[in-house]
């Protein structure tokens, strides 16, 4: 299990406002591309199965990265 914290500014680690629901926005964007992740406020939780193959893990991470980029622009 891993979590990715979404922040406005990496340097200051300023969080997004709770009302923006950034974790939910990223989760919805990832879901549109076939990946289900769990949003917890401004954190998205990744829980891949222990026996995931490398190709599937790469796809999972690529979709999450693209979702974060799309939502935070």
Query: How do strand 2-5 and strand 14-15 relate by DSSP bridges?
Result: unpaired
Q: What is the pLDDT of residues 33-63, one digit of tens each?
A: 999 999 999 999 999 999 999 999 999 999 9
**0.75 exceeded by pTM:** yes
- Please give the pLDDT value at position 6: 95
User: Are the beta carbons of 6 and 16 closer than 8 angstroms?
Assistant: yes
- Please give the pLDDT value at position 36: 95
């Amino acid at each position: 299990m891993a979590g990715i914290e979404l922040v406005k500014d990496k340097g200051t680690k300023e969080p997004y406002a709770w009302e923006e629901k950034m974790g939910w926005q990223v989760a919805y964007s990832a879901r549109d591309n076939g990946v289900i992740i769990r949003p917890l406020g401004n954190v998205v939780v990744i829980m891949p199965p222990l026996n995931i193959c490398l190709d599937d893990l790469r796809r999972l991470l690529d979709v999450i990265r693209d979702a974060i980029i799309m939502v935070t622009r």
